[in-house]
Amino acid sequence: MLREKELNAMKKQFLRTGMLTALITAALTGAVWAMPSSGTLVQGNVTVDQGSLAALPNGATIKATEDSVIEWTDFDLAAADELHFDTIDGAIINRVPAGKATLLRGKITQIGTHPLAIICGGGLRTDGTRIDGTDVKIDAAKMTMQDSGITASRVQIRVGESEESAGTYHLRSTAPLYLSNTFISAQEVRSMSGVICLLKGSELSADHINLSIGADIRISYSAEGTETQEEIAVTRDNTLSLWDSFVSGGEIAFRAGGVGIWRGSELGAERKITPLVKNVKKPPYILTRTDGSDAKMLCGMDSSVWQKSGDVRGFSAVSFTQTPPIVPVEG
């Protein structure tokens, strides 16, 4: 029989081996045990029903009692985890510093009509995440959503490097927004990016859809926060592209360098589609094609573009198709 000392040593070795095996398995399968961590309140006031901003447990709710800003060391969320926000009494802005990419896999919920903002200076990737909210705003240096979904009354997404001053928002270095097997469903969707690419059955649907797709985007605002003018510089690379995907709404407006609707995709509006891809200097939109390219809006023979008020002018039906891009795996 084994002596007690030897038996205890074997137990310790088993535990170490088991933990190591679990860690290796987690690394290989992509499983992580993560919640946003090391949060610091830099403005306003919030309460947490479990744990603290420094160490949130799964299922925690962060409630704002006034407009608040939280800075996080990281904002990762594991697949099995949930994080809840209460913005009934004030907005909550979550900031992640540049250089730290954010990976969301779990569930985020929001109640309350004040905005919930997630600002990712190092980029954002979602993989299987679900966001259910009311007024959701996402700013990211770069952004890829895969196997994910957002449901809210209002969704705003801005992708690239930006600067903001009184009455002006400048997205001076835009980046692509990729949606792969992902849906966004809202009453209103506002997006600014260098590219919008929907693949693998993705769907963007809202009563009002407003997309700015350019290399440089500058928005002016009134004192009430309403957009008054947009100056956008575009090239042939600043495209709205759909592969086996759908964009549907009541009214759809976009400014871009080009459009491609491919492989059984559909761009359709119950009321009106308003595309703008050519040079124009008539406020509220000032669009400049900076590379001298021709504006092209193409639709494959197996796809469709429609509005109930009649034909959508400017689109050309073509017999060829294009190859879908490879979606980046990092945020």
| Closest to 207 measured CA to CA, from 241, 245, 252 | 252
Strand partners, 150: 131, 184
Domain chopping of the chain, boundaries: 1-31, 35-318
CA distance 292 to 233: 11
Distance of CA 121 to the CA centre of its chain: 13
pLDDT score recorded for residue 311? 87
CATH number of 35-318: 2.160.20
For each of the chain's 331 residues, which pLDDT tens digit applies? 334 444 355 334 434 444 444 344 444 444 444 899 999 999 999 999 999 999 999 999 999 999 999 999 999 999 999 999 999 999 999 999 988 899 999 999 999 999 999 999 999 999 999 999 999 999 999 999 999 999 999 999 999 999 999 899 999 899 999 999 999 999 999 999 999 999 999 999 999 999 999 999 999 999 999 999 999 999 999 999 999 999 999 999 999 999 999 999 999 999 999 999 999 998 999 999 999 999 999 999 999 999 998 889 999 999 988 889 888 876 4
Asked if 265 and 245 touch (Cβ cutoff 8 Å), the reply is yes
DSSP readout, 131-185? EE-SEEEEEESSEEEES-EEE-SEEEEEEEEEEEETTEEEEEEE-EEEEES-EEE
pLDDT at residue 24, as a whole number: 45
* DSSP 8-state class, residue 55: B
What is the structure's pLDDT at 330?
Answer: 61
Say what the alpha-carbon torsion angle 189, 190, 196, 201 is, to the nearest 10 degrees: -10
pLDDT at 38: 95
User: What is the Cα–Cα distance from 159 to 20, expressed in whole angstroms?
Assistant: 38
3-state helix, strand, coil in the chain (%, to 5): 10, 55, 35
Please report the pLDDT score of residue 110 as a whole number.
98
Distance of CA 287 to the CA centre of its chain: 24
CA gap 78, 217 in Å, rounded: 34
Residue where the block lists tokens 């400049």: 288
DSSP state of 77: B
Task: Tell me how crowded residue 65 is: count the other CB atoms within 10 A of its CB.
Answer: 13
Distance CA 131, CA 83 (A): 10
**Are β-strands 92-96 and 61-64 bridged in parallel, bridged antiparallel, or unpaired?**
unpaired
> How far is 85 from 131, CA to CA, in rounded Å?
11
- pTM, two decimals, is 0.89
Assess contact for 76 and 58: CB atoms under 8 A.
Answer: no
Question: SS3 for 10?
Answer: helix
Q: How distant is the alpha carbon of residue 259 from its chain centre?
A: 20
